[in-house]
């Protein structure tokens, strides 16, 4: 009996030490401020915040209270500083398994879903050239796509609405524009989507996509969205071998990204056991969903902010009048586009896009990484010996509201980006809508070029006025759409 009691006491002591004393008082993480009283022993608090989509705001409040490092769970930290970005993201910590669970399509790994850095770097090299700033600015395919989508799709829709005084819900319209842009670049203009001509069909797609986002990898396999993407890939492949689109009125552009990825993968097929068609489809589906959703969000919030600041609309319109050739729309005569580099060089336009991405980041949530296993552990802000296997992350939402770098961080103030010297240097270093390091967003240059071109075209021709912005607050999911899924604007034509 005594032996049983001694054994029971030993077990109880062991449990108390490992479950209470060690995590609260001895662990290398024990000196880090806790998000909640229970954080050293359970992840329940942060998981509850995630399940209710309140973790982004909760984490921001924690950093406001506790500083740059907070312990969210027994083996999870949130870090909010430039130092943290350098250590974690530029330091190339590998991704957390979260990505493999959520972002893999066709049960086949893609760049976003790859946990390990080496295979990611290998596949990224196949595509990095086609998304480089210089390639995009000089691309004849991109110019042809831009002309068609602006002059033949978007501007006629806005002209009709402007003449009739109609009110437009710009969120689905500009999401459709984003999808038409990215799909045309991936697969070619003739093989890409044309959802701007069929918004009801597009809304059906969006409903299917909302369901897709919350499905498991197995449940989404060969469902509506994956079959749709596979169809686009098959259409692009067929276009290389058959003259099936000869009667199309659209100009022919290359399937830029599809061709590049297909050729690169084909060259190494002997060493890659993954099915070629599914590797391509998995990768390009990620480009399609990211390309339409994040750009649509940015368009929407930039127009929302500008519509509240008529003096800044006037400043932007004044700057846009310096472009040559002009972005003024004419239904009766063909207009060449100004160069992408000329549009990119406009300081007010750049400032407004950056400030929108800062304050209304399309992806404001955690981008989790895992600390490496090393002899000395990891050090963050004086907290040393952090062991391997700890989940660490930063959020664009909190980084973009560090007031020492972004004074009055809750206000949309584009003029801050016109600063010079150390101020602008620090703001750019902390600017994080696309992440940073080797795993940052592959399509950042594409997104910026597209957004600047479209916003330049809209405000060269129209002044926007808010009619209904109920539910404009972001929902702060991983991709943060307006809660009400709408922004109703009126487009008032600018007189010549």
Buried b or exposed e, range 381-409, using 16+ CB within 10 angstroms: eebeebeeebbbbbbbbbbbbbeebbeeb
The pLDDT value recorded for residue 392 is 98
Q: Which two tokens stand for residue 175?
A: 């999401």
What does the alpha-carbon distance between residue 346 and residue 196 come to, in Å, rounded to a whole number? Answer: 28
Non-local (6+) Cβ contacts of 160 within 8 A are 166
Using one digit for the tens of pLDDT, what is the confidence trace for 209-236?
999 999 999 999 999 999 999 999 999 9
Question: Is residue 245 over pLDDT 60?
Answer: no
Using one digit for the tens of pLDDT, what is the confidence trace for 441-471?
999 999 999 999 999 999 999 999 999 999 9
Using one digit for the tens of pLDDT, what is the confidence trace for 393-442?
999 999 999 999 999 999 999 999 999 888 999 999 999 999 999 999 99
Query: Does the bond joining 327 to the residue before it have cis omega, within 30 degrees of 0?
Result: no
pLDDT class of 244 with cuts at 50, 70, 90: low
**Helices 170-187, 444-461: crossing angle, 10 deg rounding:** 130
What does the alpha-carbon distance between residue 469 and residue 487 come to, in Å, rounded to a whole number? Answer: 5
Task: Note the pTM of the prediction, 2 decimals.
Answer: 0.95
pLDDT class of 243 with cuts at 50, 70, 90: low
The pLDDT value recorded for residue 242 is 59
The whole-number average pLDDT for the span 137-145 is 98
Using one digit for the tens of pLDDT, what is the confidence trace for 73-105?
999 999 999 999 999 999 889 999 999 999 999
Distances (CA, A) of 327 to 150, 154, 254, 324, 459: 10, 13, 25, 8, 9
The whole-number average pLDDT for the span 136-162 is 97
> If you ran DSSP here, which 8-state letter would residue 223 be given?
S
Distances (CA, A) of 51 to 35, 45, 89, 150, 209: 16, 10, 26, 40, 19
Question: Is residue 19 over pLDDT 90?
Answer: no
Residue 382 falls in which region: left (phi positive, over 0), alpha (psi -120 to 50) or beta: left
The whole-number average pLDDT for the span 149-178 is 96
Closest by Cα among 137, 23, 104 to 445: 137
What does the alpha-carbon distance between residue 167 and residue 464 come to, in Å, rounded to a whole number? Answer: 10
């Amino acid at each position: 009996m005594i032996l049983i009691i001694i054994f029971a006491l030993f077990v109880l002591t062991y449990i108390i030490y490992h479950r209470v004393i060690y995590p609260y008082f001895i662990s290398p993480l024990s000196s880090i401020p806790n998000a909640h009283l229970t954080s050293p022993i359970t992840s329940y608090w942060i998981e509850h915040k995630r399940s209710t989509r309140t973790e982004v705001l909760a984490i921001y409040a924690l950093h406001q209270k506790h500083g740059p490092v907070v312990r969210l769970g027994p083996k999870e930290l949130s870090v909010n500083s430039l130092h943290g970005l350098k250590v974690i993201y530029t330091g190339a910590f590998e991704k957390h398994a979260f990505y493999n669970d959520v972002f893999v399509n066709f049960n086949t790994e893609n760049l976003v879903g790859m946990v390990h850095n080496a295979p990611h770097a290998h596949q990224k090299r196949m595509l990095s050239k086609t998304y480089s700033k210089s390639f995009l600015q000089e691309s004849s395919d991109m110019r042809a796509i831009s002309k068609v989508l602006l002059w033949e799709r978007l501007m006629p829709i806005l002209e009709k609405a402007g003449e009739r005084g109609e009110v437009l819900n710009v969120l689905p319209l500009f999401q459709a524009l984003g999808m038409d842009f990215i799909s045309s670049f991936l697969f070619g203009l003739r093989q890409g989507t044309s959802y701007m001509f069929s918004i009801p069909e597009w809304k059906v797609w969006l409903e299917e996509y909302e369901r897709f986002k919350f499905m498991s990898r197995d449940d989404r396999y060969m469902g509506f969205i994956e079959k749709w993407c596979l169809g686009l890939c098959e259409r692009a492949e067929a276009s290389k071998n058959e003259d099936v689109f000869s009667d199309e009125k659209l100009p022919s552009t290359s399937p830029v990204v599809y061709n590049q990825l297909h050729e690169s993968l084909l060259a190494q097929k002997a060493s890659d056991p993954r099915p070629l068609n599914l590797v391509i489809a998995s990768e390009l589906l990620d480009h399609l969903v990211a390309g339409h959703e994040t750009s649509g969000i940015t368009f929407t919030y930039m127009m929302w902010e500008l519509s509240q600041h008529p003096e800044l609309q006037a400043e932007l319109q004044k700057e846009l009048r310096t472009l040559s050739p002009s972005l003024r729309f004419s239904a009766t005569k063909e207009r060449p586009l100004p160069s992408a580099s000329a549009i990119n060089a406009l300081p007010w336009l750049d400032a407004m896009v950056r400030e929108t991405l800062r304050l209304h980041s399309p992806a404001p949530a955690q981008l989790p990484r895992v600390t490496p296993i090393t002899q000395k552990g990891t050090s963050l802000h004086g907290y040393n010996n952090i062991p391997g296997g700890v989940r660490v992350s930063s959020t664009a939402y909190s980084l973009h509201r560090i007031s020492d770098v972004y004074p009055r961080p809750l206000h949309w103030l584009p003029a801050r980006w016109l600063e010079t010297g150390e101020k602008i240097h620090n703001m750019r270093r902390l600017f994080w809508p696309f992440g940073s390091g080797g795993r940052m967003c592959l399509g950042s240059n594409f997104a910026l070029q597209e957004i600047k071109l479209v916003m330049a075209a809209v405000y060269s021709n129209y002044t926007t006025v808010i009619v209904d912005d109920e539910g404009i607050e972001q929902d702060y999911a991983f991709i943060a759409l307006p809660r009400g899924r709408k922004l109703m604007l009126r487009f008032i034509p600018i007189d010549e």
